[in-house]
Structure 1
Amino acid sequence: MLGAVETRSVSPVFVGRAAELDILNTALARAAAGSGEPQALLVGGEAGVGKTRLVEEFATAAAGRGAVVALGGCVEIGADGLPFAPFSTALRRLRRELPARLAAAAAGQEEELARLLPELGPAAPETRRDEHGMARLFALTARLLERVAAEHTVVLALEDLHWADASTRHLLAYLFRTLRTGRLVVLATYRSDDIHRRHPLRPLLAELDRLRTVHRVELGRFNREEAGRQLAGILAREPEPDHVDEIFERSDGNAFFIEELAAASPEGCRSGLTDTLRDLLLVRVESLPESAQQVVRCVAEGGSTVEHRLLAAVARLAEDDLLGALRSTVNAGILTPAPDRDGYRFRHSLVREAVSDDLLPGERSRLNRRYAEALEADPTPVPADERVTRLASYWYHAHDAAKALPAVLDASVEARRRHAYSEQLGLLERAMELWDAVPDAVRAVLRPVAYTEAYPPPPPQRRGTPPGAPRSGDPEAAGAVPLHYLDLLAEAAVAGRLCGERERAMKIIKRALRVLDEEPDPLRAAWFWVQRSRLTQSLARGDGWSELGTAQDLVRGLPPSEVHAEVLASAANWSMLHEPGPEAMAAAERAVEYARMVGAHDIELNARLTLGGLKVDAGDIDAGLAEMYEVKDRATELGVDPVVGRSHINLPSALEGIGRSQEAAALLREGLRVTRELGLLDSEGWVWGNLAETLHSLGHWDEAAEAA
């Protein structure tokens, strides 16, 4: 209804930026030429300098040349983050524009890619101990984009990277590094003035600066002539020179501030406006009718975009009053209809920040409570992939711990399902923060988390139930086990390791071990000591053997269990690398036996692979190689990807060690294909290294150098 309303504060004339637009158009031409050469661009500039306008002009020009433009914006929703939000939005638009092409490009991988684009169908079920899930998802996304862009020029534009969740940043970096084919332009914008020393985007920008394939574009402020042209476009007439001088001086050439100052002084009256940025941004809001100001405050606290039905429930205005208020905000250029859903967003995020900062603390928590209650009553206005995360954010900022904890746990499960381990870690840390503020009665009905590692499981009837789900019947019935604080710590430790936050993971593990000092539980303690050993080694703070020794002491004499098998398998693998011998062989054999007894196929296969390597080292070559070959085939059959990757490293290494280099080279070339298809990036790196060594042994110098 309001989509056609134009705001008089926006200049219809696109001012300046000729050099920057030329850079983007040149990148588009390179991408579209011949078979295509993917282009990567980063556009930075302070808030309000005109990044979005530049992208809009470029997108219009690109569409005019036949390119398909897929826009996605990072969502500002506090510390929770919406994993992969800009990619999900952009892929939806690609699906609308090129439905048949995208379906063909995703064929056979819909279950994995559904983690980014739920419209492709149900996502693949979680697999335990899948450390390579995120890497596989990234590899499939890159392949999807390359296939879609094989015949069509595609512009993938991601705005507001300064708000990006960690998973989005990781995926963008992966694409910038690995895209090699296709008529594709990947463009991302960010606020340079927001990137302080500790901003999470700063390391990524430094990393991308070292890539010759990434072009950085920095937008500066307008000079006086450009400011005058913008002002003339807004006023639809030539402004007086002194008017240009004053607005240019007060805006300092910032395009958005020029718009705001022009709107605040339409008749040239330039009195009564304070020099503070917040007052400048709020002056037009405060001139609105009270009902419109109420709507603006509601939208400011609802997220980057607020759906109309959700806003109606929160604003609590009569339908006609709500529409009238919305029309006032759109006419004033404060809100604008969202382009991709039935809702509204601020025309500029700086105004939203100013309005949000102007809210009283009680006002902010009350609005968040209204949003949470409205979303619980009717979740349908909000896209399905955003519901749990937004609900968790609303309840948390409503300062209702009893409601927030279950919602945050549900959001952490959703983040893990999407392989967004950084966001999962942040949510679990938020759950730890809320834990002591929640009554025991609320905690008693929370379900234990279904782990991706060999953490001691709850009773069978509880396995796989998402945290926060309501439990039927009496809490004490059927041996029900409530969620324990240690369960949060265990899941957070795994999430921290999987997303590369090893320091945070180590602190969490140390906290868990302190809890276990007061509440002894040998199996759980042994599990945490194994995790500590892995982190100690990856952080280069020791060889990890002392930690494994402690874990072995804890499980000694206990019945067979998954944890027991994992401890023995880890000890055997450590010994194979550091001190192979009879003790390592015995540990590997017991690990295989225990894993079989408890049905832990992946631990069994890992332990058998270690056992095969130890047999080769001990001189029982035929038996050892047979074991390793069988493990490789069995892991492939069962889809245990980490063991598949390790098989293509350890088996060729054993073959090379006994002089069977030709056989090793054939397996390594197969390993390159397999690890790349499965997205096992670390394994692929090891395969390349081993291939370089084997080719060197064979005297293939040039190929060895290339592999290295």
Structure 2
Amino acid sequence: MLGDVETRSVSPVFVGRADELALLTDVLTRAAGGEPQAVLIGGEAGVGKTRLTEEFLGEAARRGAVVAVGGCVEIGAEGLPFAPFSTALRTLHRELPEELAAAAAGQEGELARILPELGDTPRGPHDEESTARLFELTARMLERLAAGRLVVLVLEDLHWADTSTRHLLSYLFRTLGSGRLVVVATYRADDVHRRHPLRPLLAELDRLRTVQRIELPRFNRAEVRRQLAGILASQPEEDFVDSVFERSDGNAFFVEELVASRASGCRAGLTESLRDLLLVRVEVLPDEAQRVVRIVAEGGSTVEYPLLRAVAGLTEDELIEALRAAVGANILLATTDGDGYRFRHSLVREAVSDDLLPGERSRLNRHYAEALEADESLIRAEERVIRLANYWYRANDPAKSLPAVLAASVAARRRHAYSEQLRLLERAMDLWDSAPEEVREALRPADDTDVYPPCGCDSAGTPLRRLDLLAEATVAARYGGERERALKITKTALRTLEDGHDPLRAAWFWTERSRLVAGLGRSDGWEEIAKAQELVQGLPPSQVHAEVLVRAAGWGMLHNPGPGNLEAAQRAVAYARMVGAEEVELNARITVGCLLTDAGTGEVGLAELHTVKDRATELGLTMLAGRAHINLTSQLESMGRSQEAVALAEEGAELVGRSRLFDTEAWVRGNMAESLYSLGRWDEATAAARRTLLVGQSAAPRGSASARLAYLALARGELTEAAQQLAAAHSHFGTHDTQPQHRIPLYRLAVGIAAGEGRIADVRSETAAAIEYGFPLGQHRYAWPLLLAAATAEADSRGLPAADTGRAAALEVLRAAARHLAAPVPVWTAHAEYLRVELLRAEDRDTVADWTAVQAAVRPLERPYLLARARHRLAEAMLAAGGCRDSAAALLRDAHATAGRLGSRRLREDLALLAQRARLPLTADIPAPPEPQADPVEALGLTSRERDVLRLVAAGSTNRKIAEELFISPKTASVHVSNILAKLGVAGRGEAAALAHRLRLFAPPGPLSVRPEAAHRRV
């Protein structure tokens, strides 16, 4: 019955998995239609993931798909950065050389970090967005490659994946939007314990509707029977099926091993130990074959034939004979490219490796390392340095391991694999004390380092110190998104530096710590900057000193605007020039330019910013050029030059977009959204703000984008949406973001939402909080709109009993705040004039002349929404004063058309109701209604009873009070209120009351006749 099983332990019949294969086949069909597909296949070791994948790939090949497979490599704790992607892309490069070259065109250097065959990797730039840029380029390359053909990418053994591979896979699953592409990843579910790094990724991907997940169960008894029949080429005896099913518990691989060990005649196959079961067929191999199998087990997931030959020390004939025996026993397999050998199943490799003696394991790893050092051509160049570091580390040789690990950390950084770089640096720190002193003294910083070891100090060419490793690790952790870990490393470094012997290094670490605590929302980072300033005070100029000054001036500009920041920024420029640090100098000059503009010398500041932008672009410092664009567009908007700001933002977005500087692009597009809003291009502003949310990686630009969307919703009259976006902005900014440029706009939004909902008390409390917070230098651009919104709310709430009380005091607070605000350019002069007249309207003292002056101030500004509002008020004043009806009608028509184009429902309704009450047409060719409207409330479609209810709601009455007043039940009053809210299109009683008072629905008779107190001021 067990005749020829040694040459066939795998069933030729595909058993079970019909549903899973059908799902994968459907995935191919959908992908062929241009919809990218993502699938996760999980299951315990030996359950049949590989066999299912092979069947799927066979179907993909029959459909003409280009198939590329890459496996995660279990080698050391870190793994090889991007190993499965590199292997799979190498296959695509071999299969589709011209197509892949075209897909990577223009970005070969960056993409070479994953696929070295594309060329040499550039030296830098290294920053917090480097990895995101690489991921974006990889995703776009795959989309272009799969645009005209079906491409299947399979990544195996995800449970061994390095951090960078996991992050790239997550990025692909979340962002692939086009192409005939299928990405499949497999993982061993029983290895993914509670703290396994793959578990958070699986949880994240489970929430994506675009990712399908398959969990393979074990075989039932019937499926085991079919598997046995396939292996044996005959029907097995039922007793044998029972025995195998009981022993294997339905695990497909264990079924194969039980049959194979039984066929070999070795009773060890029936032992209780699973490890012994896996070693059965190894132990019956010839001695030389067993030795080769042990060597392969310690070499990693795959061992190249030249390397294996160098380590084994056998003649070629002896090695081939040993390999033939291991392959014939289905223990080893030749790799698909024919370059090396791997175990048919990783469980066997693990069992063989675990069976090695400790000294034997160290000796084998030493032999691997020595072979690689003796001949660099044995394996691919990009893998050599990482594997050499792991071999020496597992050989327990600190003298050899420390320099190898540091070299591997540099290689990881060059690939933007910062998480792997961090792990290697942590390993180097563990090895530091055990390595001989002469080895440590021989170490030097890497030539291409773009981070700060030796912390910007003048120690080039001097030996590395442990503090340098801590500095490298700090930056690697920050770039890799592991800010908590970076914070702990800075704490360790600063504890070492407590004796004060190295103030520059300490200042550098405090500056890094400032970035980290601010980024984590722990504080605003000023305490750390202050300590860094103390440390560099009195020291000669240095790059660190200049960096500290730039950081301090930049912090002050954003958190505590004032004249003192300009002096610090100018000193930073001078120090940077002294030490030849042009990049630091340019960064400082951006801060100088902004501070000059805030101080009132706008043209001088703008000229400085333009100069820095052009120089940074010339030097290829794209991130710095992006920062210049951010601040230029912001300052132009502050000066009312929105058209220029939009044009420059488009240029900046294109520049930083090409380099995939996502946060920088988010800031530029956020500024663009603000200027587009000002210009009345609201649909474009919405698109820009949503793009900001899409590309922004950090909280602050996303918070600003949410605030911009809240402004748009508020102006359109969508109060619920505005409130939701305001809440999102607060969530993004957190509790520790104290920047006035973020806080004051949020106060403005809270005032607007409260006003729209008729909550005048909240309007006053939010306004008071904002005024107490203060309007520092340069923040008038946010303060004027806030004060104007509060004054408008006061004017709109006239006649509301709850609002009339305390109005005089509230208006005086607004006037006092306005007296201290700068209005250096026409846009803010116009706001000041608008505010003055709204305060008069709140006191019922505004005139046609006042509103004419407002319109004259606003008209040249290219602010259509502001102008439409001013014309609304001017028309209202003209009608109230008995002025020219034709002029008022023209104003209303113009404002109504603008409100329609913008999509401002609230303004359109206000204008329509005013026109209806005055019996004026909003379209020039439609005559006025012949009969006056008996009651303006009827224009809203309210019944007589609903009119009475609305009057009481506007007066602040509860349902019970309404019921008592109108002699109806509270339930009937509630029904009337619900009907009124629906007809008015408002969300609550407060908003209904606000609308009634804003439209003066219950004003005394003749609301559009001449007000007695205004008669002598008629124009």
Relative to the length of structure 1, the TM-score reads: 0.93
Letter paired with 1:99? P
CA contact (8 A) 2:268 2:280 kept: no
Q: Which residue of 1 aligns with 2:43?
A: 45
Q: Which residue of 2 aligns with 1:557?
A: 538
Q: Which residue of 1 aligns with 2:572?
A: 591
Q: Which residue of 2 aligns with 1:392?
A: 389
Unaligned 5+ runs, structure 1: 464-479
1:124-151 alpha-carbon deviations (Å, 9 max, x no partner): 1234x53332222112111211111111
CA contact (8 A) 1:67 1:154 kept: yes
State the Cα distance separating 1:644 from its structure 2 match: 2.8
Give the 3 Å change call, closer, same or farther, for CA 258–636 of structure 1 in structure 2.
same
State the Cα distance separating 1:300 from its structure 2 match: 0.7
**How many Å separate the matches in 2 of 1:560 and 1:341?**
59
Give the 3 Å change call, closer, same or farther, for CA 696–7 of structure 1 in structure 2.
farther
Q: How does 1:494-533 map to 2 (within 5 A)?
A: 494-518=475-499, 520-533=501-514
Q: Which residue of 2 aligns with 1:78?
A: 76
**How many Å separate the matches in 2 of 1:59 and 1:655?**
57
Q: Which residue of 2 aligns with 1:10?
A: 10
State the Cα distance separating 1:607 from its structure 2 match: 1.4
1:4-34 alpha-carbon deviations (Å, 9 max, x no partner): x99411111111222112222222222222x
1:677 and 2:675 matched: no
State the Cα distance separating 1:619 from its structure 2 match: 1.9
1:465-515 alpha-carbon deviations (Å, 9 max, x no partner): xxxxxxxxxxxxxxx521111111111111011001112111111111122
Q: How does 1:581-620 map to 2 (within 5 A)?
A: 581-620=562-601
CA contact (8 A) 2:133 2:659 kept: yes
Residue aligned with 2:42, SS: strand
1:290-309 alpha-carbon deviations (Å, 9 max, x no partner): 21111111111001111122
Give the 3 Å change call, closer, same or farther, for CA 102–268 of structure 1 in structure 2.
same
Q: How does 1:223-234 map to 2 (within 5 A)?
A: 223-234=220-231
CA contact (8 A) 1:609 1:647 kept: yes
Give the 3 Å change call, closer, same or farther, for CA 282–680 of structure 1 in structure 2.
same
CA contact (8 A) 1:243 1:268 kept: no
**How many Å separate the matches in 2 of 1:57 and 1:233?**
16
State the Cα distance separating 1:458 from its structure 2 match: 8.4
**How many Å separate the matches in 2 of 1:635 and 1:353?**
53
**How many Å separate the matches in 1 of 2:287 and 2:116?**
40
State the Cα distance separating 1:270 from its structure 2 match: 7.1
Specify which of 60, 65, 68 is matched with residue 66 of structure 2. 68
1:569-621 alpha-carbon deviations (Å, 9 max, x no partner): 11111111101111211111111222223222322222122222222222222
Specify which of 171, 179, 194 is matched with residue 182 of structure 1. 179
State the Cα distance separating 1:411 from its structure 2 match: 0.5
CA contact (8 A) 1:445 1:482 kept: yes
Specify which of 55, 58, 67 is matched with residue 57 of structure 1. 55
Bigger Rg, structure 1 or 2: 2
1:149 and 2:130 matched: no
**How many Å separate the matches in 2 of 1:656 and 1:203?**
42
1:181-202 alpha-carbon deviations (Å, 9 max, x no partner): 2111111111111111111111
**How many Å separate the matches in 1 of 2:500 and 2:445?**
18
Specify which of 249, 254, 274 is matched with residue 271 of structure 2. 274
**How many Å separate the matches in 1 of 2:266 and 2:304?**
37
Residue aligned with 1:265, SS: helix
1:638 and 2:619 matched: yes
Q: Which residue of 2 aligns with 1:433?
A: 430
**How many Å separate the matches in 1 of 2:576 and 2:97?**
46
Specify which of 90, 102, 105 is matched with residue 104 of structure 1. 102
State the Cα distance separating 1:227 from its structure 2 match: 1.5
Number of matched residues?
684
**How many Å separate the matches in 1 of 2:605 and 2:122?**
35
Q: Which residue of 1 aligns with 2:19?
A: 19
1:332 and 2:320 matched: no
Letter paired with 1:16? G
**How many Å separate the matches in 2 of 1:188 and 1:271?**
35
Residue aligned with 2:250, SS: coil
**How many Å separate the matches in 1 of 2:170 and 2:671?**
26
Deviates further, 12-21 or 572-581 = 12-21
Q: Which residue of 1 aligns with 2:439?
A: 442
Residue aligned with 2:330, SS: coil
CA contact (8 A) 1:530 1:547 kept: yes
**How many Å separate the matches in 2 of 1:167 and 1:134?**
9
CA contact (8 A) 2:526 2:555 kept: yes
Specify which of 602, 611, 624 is matched with residue 621 of structure 1. 602
**How many Å separate the matches in 1 of 2:668 and 2:215?**
40
Residue aligned with 1:217, SS: strand
1:364 and 2:364 matched: no
Q: How does 1:386-425 map to 2 (within 5 A)?
A: 386-425=383-422
Unaligned 5+ runs, structure 2: 691-1019
CA contact (8 A) 1:459 1:481 kept: no
Letter paired with 2:416? H
**How many Å separate the matches in 2 of 1:195 and 1:89?**
24
Q: How does 1:124-203 map to 2 (within 5 A)?
A: 124-127=122-125, 130-203=127-200
Residue aligned with 1:69, SS: strand
Give the 3 Å change call, closer, same or farther, for CA 223–300 of structure 1 in structure 2.
same
State the Cα distance separating 1:267 from its structure 2 match: 8.3
CA contact (8 A) 2:7 2:328 kept: yes
Q: Which has the higher contact order (CA 8 A, sep 6+)?
A: 1
**How many Å separate the matches in 1 of 2:477 and 2:670?**
27
**How many Å separate the matches in 1 of 2:6 and 2:71?**
22
CA contact (8 A) 2:218 2:252 kept: yes
**How many Å separate the matches in 1 of 2:266 and 2:457?**
74
CA contact (8 A) 1:335 1:344 kept: yes
1:630-679 alpha-carbon deviations (Å, 9 max, x no partner): 32232222211222332333322223333333333333344443333211
Give the 3 Å change call, closer, same or farther, for CA 458–679 of structure 1 in structure 2.
closer
CA contact (8 A) 2:262 2:269 kept: no
Letter paired with 2:527? S
What percent identity do the matched residue pairs reach? 69
**How many Å separate the matches in 2 of 1:593 and 1:235?**
84
1:209 and 2:190 matched: no
Deviates further, 665-674 or 449-458 = 449-458
CA contact (8 A) 1:105 1:148 kept: yes
1:657 and 2:638 matched: yes
**How many Å separate the matches in 2 of 1:153 and 1:229?**
34
State the Cα distance separating 1:100 from its structure 2 match: 0.7
